[in-house]
Amino acid sequence: MKNLLLLPLLVAVAFSFSVNAKTIEVEIHGMTCALCVDSLNRKFNKMQGVSKVDVSMKMKKVRLEIDSTSPTIVMIKQAILDTGFMPIKVTLISDDQAKE
């Protein structure tokens, strides 16, 4: 019975974690056409913890909205390498804890 009282608390904690997202931008080398953009889009759309993917060939950048804990920068870089591109620079655009 005590567990039932804990449940709402656990749900609240889990919810606050999922809400705690951040946006990062990765400069990518090697994108040359729409198929490159497409393969990166598909790769990140499959990745757990990624809520939004925005690939720009013009800017040579991928912008991702991700959970605060996962995926890590290392995982993101590896995913880019796996897709056949070179991650150049990772920038944290916003952290919702820092948002006003």
CB of 97 to Cu ion, least distance (A): 36
35 touching Cu ion, by CB under 5 A: yes
CB of 32 to Cu ion, least distance (A): 4
- Residue count at the site for Cu ion (CB under 5 A)? 4
Binding region for Cu ion (CB under 5 A) out of 6-14, 25-33, 61-69, 85-93: 25-33
33 touching Cu ion, by CB under 5 A: yes
CB of 39 to Cu ion, least distance (A): 8
Report d(CA 84, CA 71) in Å as an integer: 19
Q: Which strands sit side by side in the sheet containing 50-56, from one edge to the other?
A: 50-56, 61-67, 21-29, 86-95
Q: Helix 34-46 crosses helix 73-83 at what angle (to 10 degrees)?
A: 140
32 touching Cu ion, by CB under 5 A: yes
36 touching Cu ion, by CB under 5 A: yes
- Nearest of 52, 65, 70 to residue 94 by alpha carbon: 65
Token digits of residue 54: 């925005």
Binding site for Cu ion (CB under 5 A): 32-33, 35-36
